[in-house]
A and B are shown apart, each in its own frame.
Chain A
Amino acid sequence: EAGVAQSPRYKIIEKRQSVAFWCNPISGHATLYWYQQILGQGPKLLIQFQNNGVVDDSQLPKDRFSAERLKGVDSTLKIQPAKLEDSAVYLCASSLSSGLLNEQYFGPGTRLTVT
């Protein structure tokens, strides 16, 4: 079974530029999450999708971050314009969302450096 795929793996941009990340979850997984992991900290949720609908985006900085999951499969996360403090690893995770166990599987992440 293929895991969660993300691209690009690394991205370096200047502040005020735009950037987009892509995530392809495990086939059949209805729930998709985007987490932000700043160096030395645990991941923090940005947004959760159930199929193509947003379940929780309370911690997404909506003035600069946006995300979509058209057709309920792949997802993109965009930052426009980027700030220095956006430097982090952006992790995508997916889960099956059925039954007692709802284990989340994480992708390799996209490491963003804003200069």
Chain B
Amino acid sequence: ELKVEQNPLFLSMQEGKNYTIYCNYSTTSDRLYWYRQDPGKSLESLFVLLSNGAVKQEGRLMASLDTKARLSTLHITAAVHDLSATYFCAVENSGNTPLVFGKGTRLSVIA
């Protein structure tokens, strides 16, 4: 059974600081997704990582995937308040299968 673990589950960081969220998963997969969820809202797709060594960047967020270590990271650079949200990683066993989500990391960026 595929399991996905995220850490930390809660993260309070100061504006301007850097931090990394980790996502580990238990079985072989080469498809990993990062989503953002604001309170009371649905899931917004941030990144899709499809191969070992994949790295994608959008603004202050950068995601990477190491399929051999079964690890993905979401790195936040120079955090700003607008990044406050809950971030989920999700893993797909193979094509056209349901996503298995981590518990999410609730990020709060404070001045």
Contacts and interface: CB of A to CB of B under 8 A. Distances in A.
Given A33-B98, A41-B103, A42-B103, A102 B92 contact: yes
Q: Range of interface residues on chain A?
A: 20 to 34
A28 B101 CA distance: 25
Contacts of A101: 48, 50
Interface string B70-111: 000000000000000000101010011111111110000000
Interface stretch (A19-27, A43-51, A61-69, A73-81): A43-51
A106 B42 contact: yes
A43 B101 contact: yes
Contacts of B98: 33, 35, 45, 48, 56
B72 to A, nearest CB: 14
A100 B104 contact: no
A98 B16 CA distance: 41
Interface of B: 4, 31, 33, 35, 40-43, 45, 48, 50, 88, 90, 92, 95-104
Interface of A: 31, 33, 35, 40-45, 48, 50, 56, 91, 95, 97, 100-109, 111
30 contacts: A31-B96, A33-B98, A35-B98, A40-B103, A41-B104, A42-B90, A42-B102, A42-B103, A43-B43, A43-B101, A44-B101, A45-B98, A45-B99, A48-B97, A50-B96, A56-B97, A56-B98, A91-B43, A95-B96, A97-B96, A100-B95, A102-B96, A103-B33, A103-B45, A104-B33, A106-B35, A106-B43, A108-B42, A109-B42, A111-B40
Given A50-B96, A101-B48, 14 more contacts: A40-B104, A41-B103, A41-B104, A42-B90, A42-B102, A42-B103, A43-B88, A43-B99, A56-B98, A102-B31, A104-B99, A106-B42, A107-B42, A109-B42
